[in-house]
Amino acid sequence: MPKGYWVSIYRSVSDPKAFSNYVKLALPALESFGGRFLTRGMPAAIFENAIKERLVIIEFESVQKAVDAHESPAYQAALKALGTGADREIRIMKGIDKD
């Protein structure tokens, strides 16, 4: 079964305190669903129409695990803590099936 990948693409962080509170709650919430952070932070280089802002990629056992993590009460509490403190989007992607 292909893995699932959660990609958070930030356009801006307008409230660093709310963002910090979100991170404190989101990390354990996502890790409890088997989320493994592959990268997070500012990009080393950008090209095309990219914005030099935070990006996060998390690997999960499956797409369903990534969706379940997002819908979990613990992660929803993290989102509530973030509020409107960041402009971003989350994409959940299916990994390439190597079989």
Q: In sequence order, what are the residues at sequence separation of 6 or more whose Cβ sits closer than 8 angstroms to the Cβ of residue 82?
A: 18, 19, 21, 22
pLDDT tens-digit map of 30-41: 999 999 999 999
Q: Name the DSSP letter for residue 52.
A: S
Enter the tokens of residue 29.
């919430």
In whole angstroms, give the CA distance from residue 98 to residue 32.
26
pLDDT for 98 equals 76
74 vs 98 pLDDT, higher one = 74
Assess whether pLDDT exceeds 70 at residue 27.
yes
Assess whether pLDDT exceeds 80 at residue 99.
no
Hey, where are the domains in the chain?
27-36+68-99
Residues 69-75: what's their mean pLDDT? 98
